[in-house]
Amino acid sequence: MRDMVRPLLPVVVVLLLPIVPFIFWGEQFAGWVEAWRENPPAPLYTVLATLGLLSSDIFLPVPSSVVSTLAGSQLGSLLGTLISWAGMTLGTVIGFAMARRWGQTWALRMARQQDLDRIRRLRDRLGPVVLVVTRGVPVLAEASVLWMGMHGLPWRRFWGPILLSNLGLSLAYSCFGAWAESRGWLPLALGFSIAFPVLLATILGRTYRAETAASHEDPPA
C-alpha cells in the first residue's frame, strides 16, 4: 500500500497548492483582488509591465503563467495573448542569443548543471522539440533555451518551436484569465496558474529520475 501511495504524494501536494492558501488567507487575498479590480492599472501600464516581466524571465524567477493570466484578465484574451506572446518570445530570444554568444559559461551562470543535464537527455531523445515539451515547465523552460543556445542550435530551427509553444501558452493563460475575470474567479485562477506549472515540473522530474535509475540498472552490452 505504501508503494502505491508514495508516488502520488507529490501530485497531491501540488494540487493542493491553490487551495491551501485560500484556507488561511483566502479572505485577505480576495479583498486584495477586489480592491485591485476597483482601481485597475491603466492598460498601457499593464502592457509595459507584462512585456518587462516576461522578457526578463531568463534572468529572474518570474512566474510567467501568473503574469499571462493577469494580462488576460486586464487586457482581454486577444490583446493579452499578443502581449504575453511578445514578452515570452523576447525573453527566450535574449537567453538563446546570449547562450550562443558566450556558451557554457553563460548558461551555467543562469542555470544549474543538473538542469542542463536533464535537458541534454531530453534533447538526445526529442531533438529541438524539447523546446516545446519544456516550455511550460519552470526552470527547465529556461534551461532548454540555454542548452540549445550554448550548443549552437541554428536560429532557423529555434524560431518555429519557440513561436508556436509561446503562442500556445500565452493563448491558454490569457484566455483563462479573461474567462476567470468575467466570472469573478480570478483569485482561484491565479492559484491554479501557480500550481499547474509546478505539477508539470513534478511529473517531468519524476519521469527523469525513473529513467535515470533504469539506465543505471541496465547491464552494459
Helix/strand/coil percent split, the chain, to 5:
85, 0, 15
Name the grid cell of 76.
Answer: 482581454
Q: 176 or 27, which is more confident?
A: 176
Angle, vertex CA 11, rays to CA 30 and CA 141, nearest 5: 85
Between CA 32 and CA 125 the distance in angstroms is 45
- Left if phi > 0, otherwise alpha if psi is -120 to 50, otherwise beta: which for 168? alpha
Which range is least confidently modeled, 5-14, 115-124, 158-167? 5-14
Longest dimension (CA), the chain: 67
Between CA 162 and CA 111 the distance in angstroms is 19
User: The pTM is what?
Assistant: 0.74
185-218 per-position pLDDT tens digit: 877 777 778 777 767 666 666 665 555 555 555 5
User: Residue 98: what residue type?
Assistant: M
